[in-house]
């Protein structure tokens, strides 16, 4: 694969993992309307644009509904990497040979990574009681995907660099989120284990304190002295 195609494949793979339909639609419009020759002409066909537009409209709504967006992400665990791999192949199919294979695998792997980051981060966002966080994050993702695809036409390396930074930042956020969840679970597990143990200790100490020792007379309560 030529070095000049590497950033385009990476950007398309990252964008596919975040929003596959927006990526295909943006590339198709750039090919059809913008006349960008670097983009495969097949993506600009009418039926491709119509299907991509319909599916993007569905994801535009579904991705902004709390908890339903996570279900939508789980359904697309297989779809988004396939789209990323397909775009990697289409962008480099003229090169042929191992270069196209490398681009296909690279695009799919990048899409899978960005999809995983999005899915795990959304699980954390869904914990918030209000839906505005989902709407804001989803809208920012849509704008970023379209913006980076458009930027890749004129400045592919800059677009790929931004996508890489976003991917690494997302991985860091997911790592911190998983670490926090693990600490919370360990804390709850510790409370469940210590709770019955503390109760047994208190009952045991109370029992030993109230019962007399074997071989010793039990203490008799003092009689209250009356005052005349």
Within 10 A of 32 (CB to CB), how many other CB atoms are there?
A: 17
Q: 5: which DSSP letter?
A: G
Query: So where are the chain's domains?
Result: 3-171
Lowest-pLDDT range of 133-137, 161-165, 168-172, 184-188: 184-188
What is the pLDDT, as a whole number, of residue 3? 60
What is the pLDDT, as a whole number, of residue 182? 80
Query: Is the pLDDT confidence value at 97 over 90?
Result: no
Query: Is the pLDDT confidence value at 220 over 80?
Result: no
The whole-angstrom separation of Cα 215 and Cα 221 is 19
Most confident of 126-135, 144-153, 199-208: 144-153
Lowest-pLDDT range of 133-137, 153-157, 166-170, 215-219: 215-219
What is the pLDDT, as a whole number, of residue 108? 97
Place of tokens 């956020």: 173
CA nearest to 87, candidates 182, 23, 151: 23
pTM higher than the cut 0.85:
no
What is the pLDDT, as a whole number, of residue 109? 97
């Amino acid at each position: 694969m030529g070095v000049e195609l590497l950033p385009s494949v990476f950007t398309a793979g990252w964008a596919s993992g975040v929003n596959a339909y927006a990526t295909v639609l943006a590339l198709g419009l750039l090919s059809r309307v913008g006349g960008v020759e670097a983009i495969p002409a097949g993506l600009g066909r009418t039926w491709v644009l119509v299907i991509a537009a319909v599916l993007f409209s569905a994801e535009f709504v579904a991705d902004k509904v709390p908890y339903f967006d996570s279900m939508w992400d789980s359904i697309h665990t297989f779809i988004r990497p396939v789209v990323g791999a397909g775009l990697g192949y289409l962008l480099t199919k003229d090169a042929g040979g191992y270069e196209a294979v490398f681009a296909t695998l690279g695009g799919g792997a990048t899409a899978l990574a960005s999809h995983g980051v999005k899915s795990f981060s959304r699980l954390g966002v869904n914990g918030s009681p209000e839906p505005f966080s989902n709407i804001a994050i989803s809208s920012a993702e849509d704008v970023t995907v379209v913006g980076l695809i458009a930027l890749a036409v004129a400045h592919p390396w800059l677009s790929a660099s931004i996508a890489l930074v976003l991917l690494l930042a997302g991985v860091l956020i997911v790592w911190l989120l998983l670490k926090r969840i693990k600490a919370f679970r360990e804390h709850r597990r510790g409370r469940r284990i210590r709770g019955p143990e503390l109760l047994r200790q208190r009952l045991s100490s109370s029992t030993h304190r109230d019962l007399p020792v074997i071989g010793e007379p039990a203490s008799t309560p003092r009689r209250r002295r009356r005052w005349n």
